[in-house]
Structure 1
Amino acid sequence: MDTAAAQRGQVPPGERDGDDARGGLRAALAGLTTRGRSFLAAGIAAGVCAYVLGQADLLRVGLLLAVLPLVSVVVLHRTRYRVAGSRRLAPQRVETGAEARVHLRVDNVSRLPTGLLMLQDHVPYMLGPRPRFVLDRVEAGGRREVSYRVRSDLRGRFALGPLQLRLTDPFGMCELTRSFSAHDTLTVIPRTEALPPARPAGESAGYGDGQQRALALAGDDDIIPRAYRHGDDLRRVHWRSTARYGELMVRREEQPQRARCTVLLDTRGIAYEGGGPDSAFEWAVSGAASVLVHMLERGYGVRLLTDTGSTVPGEGAEGFAGSGQNTADAAGLMLDTLAVVDHSDGAGLSRAHDVLRGGHEGLLVAFLGDLDEEQAALAARMRQRGGTALAFLLDSGTWLTGGAVTGAVEDRLRQLREAGWTAVAVPAGARLAELWQRTGGTQTQAPAADTYGGWS
């Protein structure tokens, strides 16, 4: 989605009389360039020499050298340009490593043409060099448009702006800078990876009548009918209710319930070593983002949970619901949260354990860093009885050295698997899609329409 922020101002601002005018004149004098200061110094030196030596011609040269920059200051100070600037981001949210284009537009809303303008936009150093543009004379009512690209390998929210205009005289003696006040924000979200269809044993699909059955066992009087919808089996028509309501009614023998998925992201600072875009922590954040988007697209009610026990603001009791009109908005909120997530100061997973113990149903997907024996035991207890739990265990030490999975990690995997988890180790540079396929077993096809018993 593109955004535009209008920034309007006058370059330079029109000073009134009194103190404002004197302050503006002082600011204009302070805007003398190196050339202007050199001319002024040379003129003063020539005037002193002419006085000492008694040379009238040298005095004329000195006056010319000294007056030229002063005249440029006065002319530039009294110039009134009314200029409007705007910035537009396309898009406003990008993944790490992807480029966004920033469009700048300058409108001359005054009745006078402008002189030479230098346009500069402030961007954080992570996004690249500071862009600068030289704009030729802009006619009255005219406009100029320029653009530049930004790119970041790091997640986060980055402020763009303020936009600056530099006004110079034709001789380059004086330069005045005026800034607009508006800023725009570019959000760099973690990179997401498309995941293949897979279904862990025992896990159900996102939404369907066959997920939890509420069969009417006491006869027709206990059946709660509903209006016929296109595609319903005609064998389920309830004729008594049809005669009563005057429209076709069917037996509602199964109550639909949306499947839930909780994605747990371990953000403890002590659980990860190293930093940068290729670190273990960034892989875990990217993996969590990929699973969230994948499950939302398949109709799950998705919740993001960290080791601090915090969730995404705006989540409902069952998380964000997928397979609806607001799926993109829900994914955007979660990705915006992951764009700024950082290491926590916590040493354990007890807060996340308390949240899950307070009520959790459905699939649990955890991205865990280094675990000691105590934290591994706590993580093992997070799996609810009868629920499906997947764990991706990262050994950040091997990410720094590129070595094989250590024996300590194998012990933690064994501890989780004994508790019923489907746990896999994440070696350095691993692709989540391959690990995701491994956790889903051999079944990779989506379940049939009347099965409602799979995860795709």
Structure 2
Amino acid sequence: MTTAGPAPTPDQDKGGLRTALAGLTTRGRSFLAAGVAAAICAYVLGQSDLLRVGLLLAVLPLICATVLYRTRYRVAGSRRLSPARVPAGSEARVHLRMDNVSRMPTGLLMLQDRVPYVLGPRPRFVLDRVEAGGRREVSYRVRSDLRGRYPLGPLQLRLTDPFGMCELTRSFSTYDTLTVIPRVDALPPVRLSGEAKGYGDGRQRSLALAGDDDVIPRGYRHGDDLRRVHWRSTARYGELMVRREEQPERARCTVLLDTRAVGYLGTGPDSAFEWAVSGAASVLLHMLERGFSVRLLTDTGGSVPGEGAEGFAGSSQESADAAGLMMDTLAVIDHSDGIGFSPAYDMLRGGQEGLLVAFLGDLEEEQIAELGRMRRRGGRAVAFLLDSEVWGRETGDVPGPGASAGEDSLRGLHEAGWTALSVPRGASLADMWRQADRQRTGAVAGSGAEGRS
């Protein structure tokens, strides 16, 4: 980018000169004021020598401002984020590069990048003389405990004259965006879904196995096992045909995130809502890595932009892009004005959701009934309840432990068929994940013993 424009036209000179005079530093203004005062005193006292001194003091900052304003530095700037997507509480490094693309060296430059206050102080760098065709590279670190998207830029160059009489600022037009995503915890490989991988033992077969008449062949592809060649179809079509592989149905996992503002107490990085967002992100990435088709669903029925009807498929080349899309969505997700889960219920496919993992705030009887219908419409269901009474008890935001609304919610979820746990403040998601697996295993074993008796 060019930091100084073309030569100003007569109509632009006035505005440009006003800009230059406005850039006078304290030293420049002091020299100008002293020169004017000396000239007035020289006129009153009739001292010609003092008049010369006054004129010198007054003209020097004006000359510096004019020369600086007409300086034709051509400087290109660029910015690189490493990484561009960072978890909350982690640091990212911003690399700045300045290239002098003119044929003359620059003077002293001050480089400044504009960043939101939540990322830290505004970085400033002093660049000494940059030779023609030369470059300078600097970097700084940013960190935020809050999720979100934060603009970085535009870059600003502050030009100054050798005497420090005037400073002018030139701004670049481009900026970048740093995405701060939720914290992600590594989860242990438990069997909450009843399957060790993304393809379950109870999968449906896409082909009949009654005999050769039911075989659906396809054309031979490089790497196919020659033992699967279907000779009858090969003779019929005149090209090598193989038996089509059985296509198991991919296991699914839906993560339900309760974003209702009425369901959570408090704000900030240590609030219950942020724990729920972080938990949803951790479960989504964990199930995606295990080969599940994952889907993010909120109480408003919202999902991730670009998500297909079957969700995002794991163990594929697009899984990294899918993870990025989901993290970008969770980075900016906020509270909703909803009061129930009816929109989310309408988005379920009826018995094809597989594992349903929910992160819930405060619940009332109506919401518990809606979650019960969602459980009957899906498969196995696990709920992590972040009750305000439990989270606010340690901070004194609610009365003592006598209230039992959270226990009533857990009891209602258990009766509706959910594996439900109450999440205390500061709990580890990995520990809660194991506890949910133990609770589900115990419930299955108990029902099996009751059936045998």
Pair 1:195–1:138, CA change in 2 (3 A): same
Is 1:284–2:276 an aligned residue pair?
yes
Which ranges in structure 1 are unaligned for 5 or more consecutive residues? 1-7, 445-456
- 8 A contact 1:192–1:289 mirrored in 2: yes
Can you list the C-alpha shifts for 1:164-218, whole angstroms capped at 9, x where unaligned? 0010111111111010100100000001011100112645731368611357365
1:280 to 1:231, Cα distance in 2 relative to 1, 3 A: farther
- Select which of 56, 62, 69 maps to 2:54: 62
Counterpart for residue 146 of structure 2: 154
Preserved contact between residue 298 and residue 322 of structure 1 (Cα < 8 Å):
yes
Structure 1 residues 241 and 150 mapped into 2: Cα distance closer, same or farther (>3 Å)? Answer: same
Residue 172 of structure 2 is aligned to residue 180 of structure 1: yes
Equivalence map 1:283-362=2 (5 Å): 283-356=275-348, 360-362=352-354
Deviation at 1:21, TM superposition (A): 2.5
* Other-structure match for 1:422: 419
Asked if 1:126 corresponds to 2:123, the answer is no
Distance 1:392 1:368 in 2: 6
TM-score normalised according to structure 2 size? 0.89
- Read off the aligned partner of 1:321 and give its amino acid letter: A
SS at match of 2:376: coil
CA distance in 1, matches of 2:338, 2:204: 38
**Whole-angstrom distance in 2 between the partners of 1:181 and 1:197:** 48
> What SS class does the counterpart of residue 145 from structure 2 fall into?
coil
Aligned residue for 2:368, secondary structure, equals helix
The Cα of 1:438 is off from its aligned counterpart by 1.7
Question: Does 1 or 2 have the higher relative contact order (CA < 8 Å, sep 6+)?
Answer: 1
CA contact (8 A) 1:203 1:363 kept: no
Deviations 1:371-404 (A, max 9, x none): 1111111112111357111111101332233386
> Given the two structures, how large is their TM-score scaled by the length of structure 1?
0.88
Structure 1 residue corresponding to 2:408, chosen from 405, 411, 418: 411
Q: Does 1:392 align with 2:389?
A: no
Shift, 1:14, TM fit: 2.7
Q: Which segment drifts farther, 56-65 or 329-338?
A: 56-65
AA aligned opposite 2:299: D
Deviations 1:88-131 (A, max 9, x none): 11111100011111111111111111111000000000100000
Q: CA RMSD, aligned part only?
A: 2.7
Which amino acid in 2 is paired with 1:331?
A
Equivalent-residue separation in structure 2 for 1:35 and 1:174 (angstroms): 8
Equivalent residue number for residue 430 of structure 2: 433
Amino acid at match of 2:135: R
Map 1:165-244; keep pairs closer than 5 Å.
165-200=157-192, 202-203=194-195, 205-207=197-199, 211-213=203-205, 216=208, 218-224=210-216
Letter in 2 for 1:65: L
Q: Is residue 383–residue 420 contact of structure 2 (8 Å, CA) maintained in 1?
A: yes
Q: Which moved more, 1:203-212 or 1:19-28?
A: 203-212
Kept in 2, the 8 Å contact 1:228–1:250? The answer is no
Residue in 2 that maps onto 1:382: 374
Q: Taking structure 1 as reference, are residues 256 and 201 closer, same or farther at Cα in structure 2, changes over 3 Å only?
A: closer
Q: C-alpha displacement at 1:288, in angstroms?
A: 0.3
Report the Cα offset of residue 419 of structure 1.
1.3
Hey, what's the Cα distance between the residues in 2 that align with 1:114 and 1:386?
Answer: 67
What letter is aligned with 1:263? V
| Paired positions, count | 434
2:252 to 239, 250, 260: 260
Find the aligned partners of 1:109 and 1:349 in 2 and give their Cα distance: 59
SS at 1:351 equivalent: helix
**Deviation of 1:298 (Å):** 1.0
Larger mean CA deviation between 50-59 and 292-301 belongs to 50-59
% identity of equivalent residues: 74
Aligned runs of 1:37-56 on 2, under 5 Å? Answer: 37-56=29-48
- Residue 122 of structure 1 aligns with an amino acid whose one-letter code is R
Q: Which amino acid in 1 is paired with 2:412? A: Q
Which blocks of at least 5 consecutive residues in structure 2 are unaligned?
395-399, 442-453
CA distance in 2, matches of 1:251, 1:159: 51
Asked whether the equivalents of residues 164 and 179 of structure 1 are also in contact (C-alpha less than 8 Å), the reply is: yes
Greater per-residue helix proportion: 2
Q: Distance in 1 between matches of 2:244 and 2:19?
A: 82
Q: Is the 8 A contact 1:199 1:441 kept in 2?
A: no
- SS at the partner of 1:441? helix
Distance 1:405 1:147 in 2: 54
Kept after mapping to 1: 8 A contact 2:230/2:243: yes
